[in-house]
Chain A
Amino acid sequence: PKNTDSFNYSRYHKLSEIYSFQDMLVAENPNLVSKIVIGQSYEARPLSVLKFSTGGTNRRAIWIDTGIHAREWITQASGIWFAKKIVKDYGSDPALTDILNNMDIFLETVTNPDGYDYTQNSNRMWRKTRKPNPGSSCVGVDPNRNWDSGFGEPGASSNPCSETYRGPSAHSESEVKAIVDFVVAHKNIKAFVTIHSYSQMLLYPFGYTSAPSKDEAELHSLAQKAITDLASLYGTRYTYGSIIDTIYQASGNTVDWTYEQGIKYSYTFELRDTGFHGFLLPAKQIVPTAEETWLALMAIMSHTFKNPY
């Protein structure tokens, strides 16, 4: 494709195509979109983040990431669609325009690029990062168990061969550390949404403990609004709640850490489906999935915008 209008959003794309898409989007929208590189993956790929900003200095911000688990292809594909949606709707959708006139949005579409490339070329079922583990023949760490929040507690594995291996230490994975450093340095991120698939869920902290977060009532009510908006498009039904109550105990996960950093609106999505296709969601479902998820994202972003803290 020569531009982002002719990019096919209904197909899964190789990493190089996603990188090209990002560069095209930046080139086409220089006053709205820029690309920042927050670090390097283990295999030295850039960890690129699209920044959507209409100006200002260190404005309140919203973070969205997709693809931290490599094989969850619907998430990277949705991330690309969100990026285009933001530039299309800015100036025409009043709610998004309001948000972007006051806040920045950061979008990392391929959070685990080594893993994604590996799923494209070697093993479609790969989930983790690609860093070798000394003393083990098994490779990689689950980057959603590597955060410094309940790290090492039940709900993650200490075995490098497990799909939920937590890693040797918190933030040992450069893909995780890059986000940690960025969030800590930014200091003004007010919503953090990390996107997974599949199970059709919208979850909030905590995962490592059954103790409710102090904002549980508000997070619960916002989750309900978000999934109601999501369902309004195609009737896709989501469940919602805290991670530990809704799925299972998961220690060292992303949103527990972001919440404990003071980012109140910390959510993790599980996109389509519920078990017909699993990680192999047919490409024709990419756009519908992204469209309905966008409605939920808008609910979270609008609420964050209207409820400064």
Chain B
Amino acid sequence: KELFKGHQVLQIIPKNDAQLAFLKDLEDVLEFELDFWKGVTAVSCPVHVRAPFQFLQLLKRILKRKDISYVPMIDDLQAVLDEEQKEIELFARSLK
């Protein structure tokens, strides 16, 4: 089972066309294994991207270097998934 320990979902809001173009390029870089939950659309429109633990710091450094601000939308994806799984199992047990 694939685990997402340490994965974060970042919200990034491009402030100008240059940042927008950079994020669009980033969308096509498959090597970072970024998963765009909400794709790049327009200036001021939030982009949501899931970054695996191994590329998270690199991504944050790149964004900082480009002066692109971000906030974590989900701090630890696996923690949320564990919670979801727990809820499903509790429900299944209560049925039994």
Chain B interface (Cβ within 8 Å of chain A)? 1-2, 4, 9, 11, 28, 30, 35-41, 46, 48, 50, 73-74, 77, 80-81, 84, 87-88, 91, 95
Q: Are A278 and B73 in contact (CB under 8 A)?
A: yes
Q: Are A161 and B38 in contact (CB under 8 A)?
A: no
Known contacts A248-B39, A275-B46; A162/B74 CB under 8 A: no
Q: Are A280 and B39 in contact (CB under 8 A)?
A: no
Query: What would be 26 A-B contacts, judged by CB atoms less than 8 Å apart?
Result: A11-B87, A11-B91, A12-B88, A121-B1, A122-B1, A123-B1, A123-B2, A124-B4, A125-B50, A157-B28, A163-B35, A163-B36, A198-B38, A199-B38, A247-B39, A248-B40, A275-B38, A275-B73, A276-B73, A277-B80, A278-B37, A278-B48, A279-B37, A280-B74, A280-B84, A283-B87
**Measured between alpha carbons, how far is A1 from B40 in the docked complex, in Å?**
43
**Measured between alpha carbons, how far is A283 from B4 in the docked complex, in Å?**
20
**Measured between alpha carbons, how far is A1 from B84 in the docked complex, in Å?**
21
Chain A interface (Cβ within 8 Å of chain B)? 1, 8, 11-12, 121-125, 157, 159, 161-163, 198-199, 247-248, 275-280, 283
Q: Interface on chain B toward A: helix, strand, loop, or mixed SS?
A: mixed
Q: Pick the 8 closest A-B CB pairs, nearest first.
A: A123-B2, A11-B91, A161-B30, A278-B37, A248-B41, A280-B80, A124-B81, A122-B1
**Measured between alpha carbons, how far is A199 from B39 in the docked complex, in Å?**
11
Contacts of A275 in B (CB 8 A): 11, 38, 46, 48, 73
